[in-house]
Amino acid sequence: MPHIIKKSSDLVTSREQTRAGFIAFALEKNRRSTPVIESAKALKVFASKAKTAKDLLKITEIQPALLTAAGLSDKAVNYFTEEDKIKAISALIESFLKPAGKYFVDEVVYRYLLIKGDSLGGSMRNIVGLMAQQKFVRTLLSNLSVSGTNYKWLNNKTKTWESKPTNDFSIEEQLKALSWKNPKGKSRILAFNLNIPIVKNNIDICLFNADIEFYSNGKIVNNPEKILMLGELKGGIDPAGADEHWKTGNTALNRIRAAFAQNNLKLETSFIAAAIEKKMASEIFDQLQNKTLSNAANLTIEEQLVSYCDWLLKL
């Protein structure tokens, strides 16, 4: 059990940390909404050229935006002919823009923002996990930097392994995997969100005993004997969803341990979460004590995350 966690309450997310997490999420949502707001401004400029709502049909540049305002997703539009698109926009004009009278331009902009905002809200649910992964990776990179450990990283965009940069600013946004040598000189690869065949599931954190040549574009997952540690990472900060995150994470970890035991293979398991409530903290702590879990950390507590990363880099 990690020495930094002395009792179950050490794992609990405080109100201050919860509040900070909500603020961080809100700021990220605002940052990602900027392109939507700017496109709405452009839509208003183009739409303002129309004298009547029906004249909007003549402005070809804004047809995609009008289709969005009509409530159609980009995916749905792929199934539409040009005639279908005109019908959809005409229905928008007749049902909602004409009744708005001289304010039809404002109406179309509002409806565009409403649909885009809903789409952004849906995508933000996926962003929560990405933000958690990036925070985790940034701490890993900081540990490597402080210890002077060299590493290589897999660029998710170029699909190539790159050397440690002089300035590692923002590489966590593109990093798919990380490679280094532990203090004993053993090669390690840490990868994220890989489907592990032996457990028939996608795993958040995957540590392998191998060098980059063996990674083979993720095919390393077909060699379970190379797996040293598998872990769950839950980035949601809402206390209301904390227990559910633990239940799903714990179920996944139990499935992992059972699959490896069935194949006479040993491995470490871990759990990291941003929202940890009192009851689940007690269960996590019990698993740490009886060594069911190898390690755990609260994502919002810097000392625990640094300690976890130190443990991981030394495995």
Q: Please, what are the domains in the chain?
A: 8-29+125-314 (3.40.91.10), 31-122 (1.10.238.90)
Between CA 32 and CA 35 the distance in angstroms is 7
Mean pLDDT along residues 72-96: 93
Mean pLDDT along residues 34-46: 94
Residue 237 neighbours by CB under 8 Å, 6+ apart: 13, 18, 21, 22, 24, 25, 128, 274, 275, 300
Sign of the CA dihedral running 237, 242, 246, 252: negative
Mean pLDDT along residues 272-292: 96
According to the model, what pLDDT value does residue 315 have?
95
Q: Within 13 Å, how many C-alpha atoms sit on residue 173's CB side? A: 3
According to the model, what pLDDT value does residue 1 have?
56
Q: Is the pLDDT of residue 122 over 80?
A: no
Mean pLDDT along residues 70-76: 89
Q: Mean pLDDT of all residues in the chain?
A: 93
Higher pLDDT pick, 214 / 1: 214
C-beta atoms surrounding 31 within 10 Å? 9
The pLDDT confidence band at residue 297, using thresholds 50, 70 and 90, is very high
Task: Read off the pLDDT of residues 181-220 as tens digits, 9 standing for 90 and up.
Answer: 999 999 999 999 999 999 999 999 999 999 999 998 899 9
Mean pLDDT along residues 89-97: 95
| Burial of 203 per CB tally in 10 Å (0-12, 13-18, 19+) | buried
Q: Is the pLDDT of residue 311 over 60?
A: yes
Q: Which of 298, 294, 211, 309 is nearest to 260 (CA)?
A: 294
Q: Is the pLDDT of residue 118 over 90?
A: no
